[in-house]
Structure 1
């Protein structure tokens, strides 16, 4: 007769081999977080930059079927429940997609671009310029609203120069 320890081990191995154990753990974490989440405490306002970053991450998580992780991100960050429109995201990020990129998350295209751009392209490295993230800048940015509650890119510290073109060839 098998011992309790042997039964636990067999059950764990079976659940792992079926790919269920990770999902169960993620679901339990999401449920625990949801039960413990204090809805009475107001969240700080979601900046334009954080809204876009969170949406890129959510799109990636949902594409990879990390649904429970995505639900925790949405709940914890205060991200709107309804995902932002893909075309809206492309416009906000000043990205133009070719047809092969539309089937994968925008984050894959951005990463692929930077991994595949050689040192000779536009001076080698990309110079990152941060948007003003001081509290008063974020508050000011969130107050200057356009396009259905989203600040205009130039007011949020984003460039409206020539679009960034995403091309296929990944995943």
Structure 2
């Protein structure tokens, strides 16, 4: 007869092999965040910029199969459960895509654009902030 410890290990191994254990842990974390948020009062409204940023991050996380992290992000940030349409995101960010760029998250294309841009001596001036980002191989 199996001991309780052996049964626990067998269940844990089965859930891990099916990929369910991580999902369950993420769901529990999301529920804990939700319960904690209820006690903190109303969350500030999700700004348009944060909505877009969160969606870029969620698309990246899901592409890389970080689904547990994505579920916690959605729960903690107040992001809508249903992902925003990719074309809507591209339009909002004024991004045009070719066939190959549509196979990866928009965040990859944005980062690639800035890493490979040679405008303004390798620097990008961020609007609304007094910060410039140096491109690789250039000093500030």
TM bucket by the smaller chain? 0.5 to 0.7
Structure 1 distance, partners of 2:83, 2:8, is 40
Secondary structure of 1:127 counterpart? strand
Cα shift readout 1:6-39 (whole Å, capped 9, x = no counterpart): 3323332332233222112112222333344317
Q: TM-score, normalised by structure 1?
A: 0.57
Cα shift readout 1:94-127 (whole Å, capped 9, x = no counterpart): 2111112223321232234456x38xx3366432
Match of 1:131 in 2: 128
Q: Which shifted more, 78-87 or 24-33?
A: 78-87
Within 5 Å, give how 1:49-128 maps onto structure 2: 49-64=49-64, 66-67=66-67, 69-114=69-114, 117=116, 121-122=118-119, 125-128=122-125
Structure 2 distance, partners of 1:75, 1:13, is 27
Q: Is residue 24 from structure 1 mapped to residue 24 from structure 2 by the alignment?
A: yes
Structure 1 distance, partners of 2:71, 2:12, is 25
Within 5 Å, give how 1:134-145 maps onto structure 2: none
Structure 2 segments unaligned to the other structure (5+ residues): 130-140
Q: 1:40 to 1:33 in 2, by over 3 A?
A: closer
Structure 1 segments unaligned to the other structure (5+ residues): 133-171
Q: TM-score, normalised by structure 2?
A: 0.66
Greater share of residues in helix: 2
Q: CA RMSD in A?
A: 3.1
Q: 1:16 to 1:109 in 2, by over 3 A?
A: same
Contact 2:27–2:71 under 8 Å retained in 1: no
